[in-house]
Amino acid sequence: MARLHTRKRGAAKSRKPAVKTVPTWVKLSKDEITSLVDKLAREGKTPAGIGQVLRDQYGIPSAKVMTGKRVVEIMEEKGSAPKYPADLMSLIRRAVRMNKHIVANKKDAHNRQKLSHVEAKIKRLVKYYRGNKLPADWKYDPEKAELLVK
């Protein structure tokens, strides 16, 4: 039986551009976009945040279409890529926040259950990334996660 209450339904979000060609109205060149990505990465923005800034402030519909590389690939070339994948880090941040909440509110059984769901997602992602983007012996530890997030 499928899960009934844990999925988000009908969430609004932006869509990728349908056309995969370089638009004529974008005035920035490939080199300017890569330097802009590097500058934003050094400011501490995540790859998704960099894509949003490029879209909203600079009118670049897709960094991959414009440069031929994804934002993370550009960051890796410039040496400013994050050490851990962004989706894994966001889940770890969420787990740390939930842990702090549970320490302050010991009777919150609902949040305790959701924390176990988030930690299960983290363990599945670690299994997926292990050996590829994570060291082969890396394990998620809730006590050390707070140090990892800081």
**Tens digits of per-residue pLDDT, 54-110?**
999 999 988 999 999 999 999 999 998 888 899 999 999 999 999 999 999 999 999
DSSP per-residue string spanning the chain: ---SSSS--S-------S--S--TT----HHHHHHHHHHHHHTT--HHHHHHHHHHHH--S-HHHHHSS-HHHHHHHHT---SS-HHHHHHHHHHHHHHHHHHH-TT-HHHHHHHHHHHHHHHHHHHHHBTTTB-TT----HHHHHHHH-
- Supply the mean pLDDT for the chain: 88
* CATH homologous superfamily of 86-149: S15/NS1, RNA-binding (1.10.287.10)
Kindly list the domain boundaries of the chain, sorted by start residue.
30-78, 86-149
